[in-house]
Amino acid sequence: MEGNLLVAHGGGPTAVINSSLYGVITEAKKHAQIKGIYGARYGIEGVLKEEFIDLGREPQENIDLLPYTPASATGSCRRKLNDKDYPVLLEIFKKYNIRYFFYNGGNDSMDTCNKVALLARESGYDMKVIGIPKTIDNDLEFTDHCPGFGSAARYAAISAMELAKEVEALPIHVIVLEIMGRNAGWLAAATALAKTNTEAGPQLIYLPERPFNEEEFLEDVRMWHSKTKGVLVVASEGLVDANGVSIADTGLVDGFGHKVPGGVAQALSDKIINRLGIKSRAEKPGLLGRASIPMQSGIDREEAIGAGAFAVKSAVEGKTGFMAAIRRTSSKPYSYEFELVPLEKVANAERKFPLEWINERGNGIRKEFIDYCMPLIGAPLPQYAALSKISVPKL
């Protein structure tokens, strides 16, 4: 089927969202039936405004830089479509002869993608629609993991390694490291990769999948502080108590009505200071950890490019209404393949961190997750010097 291709980004950028874009563009150029290759400026909002970039005419040297460029080169958005938007979208697709549409994003974006696929089918407009997964939260169902997670996990792990060395070098306080993850703790759990032994930091890790218990938390901190003096605590930004109340709530909501979390590290540090009388400070890499190219995982980049290319191949073959998912075929050695999953299954489905991968106390991560995550972060983590504890005898 001849026609033009349109690709758009939705939700928060990652270190490899542009890698998927590269995969789409590179694969599209191989197929003569794809006449134009367009990118929507700022996601689905750009489609509604008819603001497109002619990606097919971009200089090749610029395209080749995409896999090593942070954030979203075409722009993204958090826009929830309403009933009035869909007829407008359909007319725009027809106007520009868009016959291949790809939406690269997370849960909400896959819902949008699914509705666009249904729109085309119900209206009798022949357009192939494929979703490309993307989220640092790793919370999409029916895929082993999401492009973007491996790089963000690498950033989180190395950040924890560095802060663990900080508290070890100056053991006078507790550092609370806040890691992104609104409802799922996958990324916070990745800091467990930093542990080099049972006593090394992070000593405590808390995920939103387990209700946060303030008294147990303070007891844990007190115990570790008495033992090591310097303590590293990792807290997912989405921590909630047994009643589902956020430990820290900004009071803001995004374009999809989701609460915007943030401030949990400071909230926990305040509790440590006020209730335990221990010096504490909050650290929050925030957006720095979402799209860092120096911390980009090579396998993450490879998979993101492959997902984009696989989506185009599938659409050209006549497939529509699917997401390009990753299926792990082996962990040691690591290998994978792509497969198609119906968008209706993925849309708005949120995969939480497995409870069986959290320790009994709810403050640490089990080895099963380490085995799952380690292949996704790319090159081995750095090794730091650990000087001998043998002291020179006093004279």
Residues annotated within a binding site for diphosphate = 12
Question: Cα dist. 366→344, 353, 359 in Å?
Answer: 32, 12, 6
Asked if residues 28 and 5 have their Cβ atoms less than 8 Å apart, the reply is yes
Give strand pairing partners of 8.
Answer: 103
Asked if residues 249 and 266 have their Cβ atoms less than 8 Å apart, the reply is no
Query: Which residues are CB-neighbours of 226 under 8 A, at least 6 positions away?
Result: none
Which own/partner contact pairs does 263-271 have at CB distance under 8 Å and 24+ positions apart? 263/178, 264/178, 264/235, 264/236, 264/237, 264/238, 264/239, 265/176, 265/177, 265/178, 265/235, 266/176, 268/176, 268/217, 268/233, 268/235, 269/174, 269/176, 271/214, 271/217, 271/218
Catalytic residue, candidates 85, 108, 137, 300? 137
CA-closest candidate to residue 299, choices 265, 336, 252, 351: 336
137 classed as catalytic: yes
Asked if residues 336 and 326 have their Cβ atoms less than 8 Å apart, the reply is yes
Q: How far apart are CA 270 and CA 273, in angstroms?
A: 5
Question: Cα dist. 365→60, 191, 279 in Å?
Answer: 44, 9, 26
Annotated binding site: 12, 107, 135-137, 180-182, 237
Neighbours of 98 (CB within 10 A): 23
Angle at which helices 149-169 and 298-316 cross, to 10°? 170
Annotated binding site for Mg(2+): 107
Annotated binding site for substrate: 135-137, 180-182, 237
Active site residues: 137
